Structure 1
Amino acid sequence: MTAPIGNFDEARPAADVLELLAPPVAAALAAWQGEVPAEQLIHVDSDPDKADTAVWAETYGVTMEQSANCVVVAGKRGQDVTLAACVVLATTRADVNGLVRRHLGARKASFAPMDTAVGESGMEYGGITPIGLPPGWPLLIDAAVADSPYVVIGSGRRRGKLLVPGKALAGLPGAVVLEGLGVAV
């Protein structure tokens, strides 16, 4: 199979290589019922030492506009903390203190600490992906991501990435597509 974007030695449907994915990602793909067929979600192997977005994109011939980052945010109101995930293009940053905070109804919003993001998601830092997040987490997707033919996202591990149609992400359980979630850096 040829990857729809980038330059990879091998590309396979992610559902065929569940053992290479973080357990919650594998479970979500095994139970996939999205409008986009599971065969269109592609796994590509990659060097975990090159997992950071800019280095990865350059190494594998993917533009930053084809790369999406998933960040875990903690919204706080009093003692209540809501964890949420935001997916934005790599050319932008999530509007955590504006749009995200307001959407979550929080007084304060910030990036979740690494140990919280990793522990609660069951995924590796640098590989957190919107597929397989805990049920009930708000999942905020920038409209530019949802409109992309394909974007690169994490696989739940630092090794390997997923190439996914934007509309597949917009169709994830609990996903809300927001215009302006990603702001220029």
Structure 2
Amino acid sequence: MDAFDEVRPAVECLDLLVPPVAAAVRDWGGSVPATDLLYVDTDPERADTAVLVKHYGPWLLEQSANCVVVAARRAGTTTLAACLVLGHTRADVNGVVRRHLGARKASFAPMDTALAATGMEYGGITPIGLPADWPVLMDAAVADSPHLIIGSGSRRGKLIVPGKALAELPGAVVLAGLGG
């Protein structure tokens, strides 16, 4: 993560995080110490993975993970879930996600729904700080990664987090083949 000018423990940057992410970092209880969750300040114009990669270099794509919110529907009920896949892959929403959630139909949640439900900004949604009752579906490659760059809840800033820490999040389910 040498490309970033300043890397600090996220627990030292709570004032830079949106409330649900700051609360999750402050109350961190996983086997990975909270001090291993890192924060880097980035330009909000570079929040999208493709733009971030263009600025910092192609190596970043292999070390990034994207979090998307999915709406799964069955019998008139909608369930929101998060999907976390490596930056160079896409979540198999219509296959793996739909089947795992037992839904008749699954699709990306509308942006206004995702933002209202998470308390986060578009382009910065992260699995850290999501509602505790949400499934957090993640590709096995995410869980196996030593460190990943993910959103921080806002367009400004990124978190650098061990895959093991992500696999221990509330509601986390590691699925082979989620990212394709």
**TM-score over 0.5 for the alignment?**
yes
Question: What residue number does 1:77 align with?
Answer: 74
Report the secondary structure of 1:86's partner residue: strand
Q: 1:172 aligns with which of 165, 169, 173?
A: 169
Q: Matches of 1:58 and 1:142 in 2, distance apart? A: 24
Question: What residue number does 1:20 align with?
Answer: 16
Q: 2:87 aligns with which of 83, 86, 90?
A: 90
Question: What residue number does 2:56 align with?
Answer: 60
Are 1:41 and 2:41 counterparts?
no
Unpaired segments of 5 or more residues in structure 2?
Answer: none
Runs (4+) off by over 4 Å = none
Question: What residue number does 1:29 align with?
Answer: 25
Give the drift of 1:58.
2.9
TM-score by length of 2: 0.97
TM-score by length of 1: 0.95
Q: CA RMSD in A?
A: 0.9
Question: What residue number does 2:106 align with?
Answer: 109
CA deviations over 1:45-101 (Å, ceiling 9, x no partner): 000011110111232344211010000000000210000000000111000000000
Return the letter of the residue paired with 1:34.
Answer: G
Q: May I ask how many residue pairs the two structures share in their alignment?
A: 179
Return the letter of the residue paired with 1:33.
Answer: G
Question: What residue number does 2:143 align with?
Answer: 146
Structure 1 residues 78 and 23, CA, compared in 2 at 3 Å: closer, same or farther? same
Identity %: 70
Structure 1 residues 6 and 145, CA, compared in 2 at 3 Å: closer, same or farther? farther
Give the drift of 1:6.
4.2
Q: Matches of 2:108 and 2:2 in 1, distance apart? A: 29
Q: Which moved more, 1:169-178 or 1:58-67?
A: 58-67
